[in-house]
Each structure stands twice: as C-alpha cells, then as structure tokens.
Amino acid sequence: MTRVRPDWQPLVEYRRNGIAENTIHGAVSWVSGRNVVYSFGGNVEVYGRSMAKPIMMKVFAEEFRNALNSEQKAIAVASHNGDTEHVRVARSLLLQSEWGMMQTPLDVPLVQFGRQVRRPRRWYHCCSGEHAAILRGCKLKGWSRIGYVWPHHPFFQEHLAYIHHVLGSDWKAGTIAKDGCGLPTVSMTVTDLARLFANLVTDKEKDWIWNAMVAHPDLIGGFNRLDS
C-alpha cells in the first residue's frame, strides 16, 4: 500500500497584477526546548542528509571528547568547501595508511580561486571530514571499519538509537536511503528535525558538538557559505 504523504505548503507567492506567477513551497517548524511552538507543514517527510551531521556525531561524543582537538571536532560535522584548510584538518583525523579506507565520492573543491583543481579527490568532497571522523570513531569503539557506510553497521544503528532517545520511543524510522556521500540517511518529519536541533541547543553543555561548530565557523562551510 502506498503511504500517504502530506503536501508541502505555499510559503511565498509572487504575483503580477494579482495573478500568481511563482509560488515557493516548503515547511516551517518552530521548536523551543521540547515544545513545538508553531508548525506549518511540519509533518512533511524529508531526509536529514547533511543536516544530520551534528546528530550523527553524537554516537562518538564521548570518544572524541579528549581524542580530538577543536578543529578536528568541527570538521567532523562540516559540509565544507574542500579548500586547503578543510582538507588539512580532515586528513589529520586518520593515519596516512588509513586514508584508503575513505568511501567519499571523488570531487573537486566547491569554491576555487586562482589555479583550478581539476583532478577529483575524495578529500575535496564536502563530507570528507565526517567520513574520516566516523572511521576514527569506529576504531576508538572497537567496531569494524569495513562497511561503515552500510545501514546495518553499528554506527548507523547507534545513530537511530540516539534519535529514538531524543524523539521518544513512539518515533519510527522512515525510509532509509543512500545519501550523496554514500552514507545512509533516514527520513523523518520537518518537526522531528526541528526537535533534534532544538535538543542540540538544550544539551549543548553536555558535549563538544555545539561549541566546536561555533568556535570554527569557517571549517563548517567556508568562504561565502551560509553555514559559516
């Protein structure tokens, strides 16, 4: 049976002499603490994708507390441009002999100046810091690093368990799909995502994730990026 999915809501409409020419659809959910203050289309189902990076690193919050420096913690939750500093910090998460375990797709830097990089590398991919951090975290936890991008790997299963912890036992994982970087991503409602991010704020003193992102905004995205 086909699952009935809520529709996106019209948020902005551009009109010419009273006639709509362009309509932008979306969903809005405002969560403060654990309370949903406002929701307009918040029950629409979406994938967390790269937005979930800070949530995914909760799996290794304790292991990374003392094992990583502040820059390494920031690059672990980054969707970066792939510039020199991003690559330097991402590479520092692993021994050079471990670089071959990276499963990020080949890519070139997102923003380039001067001489252009034309040969794709895994480290240039915006998720290279996250992948390197996952490999480092799996090593610290004693998990196999083979198949770290599979949905049945302990890393992703622990990620789902953390979501259950925050959203409650009634939460049910939606569709699990392969993200652009190769890692699994799970669908949930916009309100669920808002609740997870609200929890990042309310629990920001319990681990390093919030502070690392705020301390190194240029590592989180880079030049001309909204995240920075």
pLDDT by residue (tens digit) across 96-138? 999 999 999 999 988 777 677 778 999 999 999 999 999 999 9
Per-residue burial over 158-172, b = 16 or more CB atoms within 10 Å of its CB, e = otherwise: bbbebbeebbeeebe
Q: Is residue 153 part of a domain?
A: yes
Q: Is residue 1 part of a domain?
A: no
Q: Residue 178 is inside which H or E element, if any?
A: strand 176-178
Two structure tokens written together for 218: 């240029």
Evaluate if residue 228 carries a pLDDT over 90: no
User: Rounded CA gap, 215 and 212, in Å?
Assistant: 5
Tens of pLDDT, residue by residue over 40-79, are: 999 999 999 999 999 999 999 999 999 999 999 999 999 9
Q: Is residue 34 part of a domain?
A: no
Evaluate if residue 4 carries a pLDDT over 70: no
Q: Is residue 96 part of a domain?
A: yes
Evaluate if residue 95 carries a pLDDT over 90: yes
Evaluate if residue 3 carries a pLDDT over 70: no
Q: Is 37 exposed, middle or buried (0-12, 13-18, 19+ CB in 10 A)?
A: exposed
**What one-character-per-residue DSSP string does 194-212 give?**
HHHHHHHHHTTTSSSHHHH
Q: Is residue 43 part of a domain?
A: no
User: Rounded CA gap, 135 and 148, in Å?
Assistant: 7
Question: How many domains, the chain?
Answer: 1
Greater model confidence, 2 or 204? 204
Strand order in the sheet with 184-189: 45-47, 184-189, 176-178
Domain holding 211, by residue range, is: 48-184+201-220
Q: Is residue 56 part of a domain?
A: yes
Q: Is residue 179 part of a domain?
A: yes
Averaged pLDDT, 159-170: 95
Give the distance, in angstroms, between the CA of residue 56 and the centroid of all CA atoms in the same chain.
7
Q: Is residue 6 part of a domain?
A: no
Tens of pLDDT, residue by residue over 170-222, are: 999 999 999 999 999 999 999 999 999 999 999 999 999 999 999 999 999 98
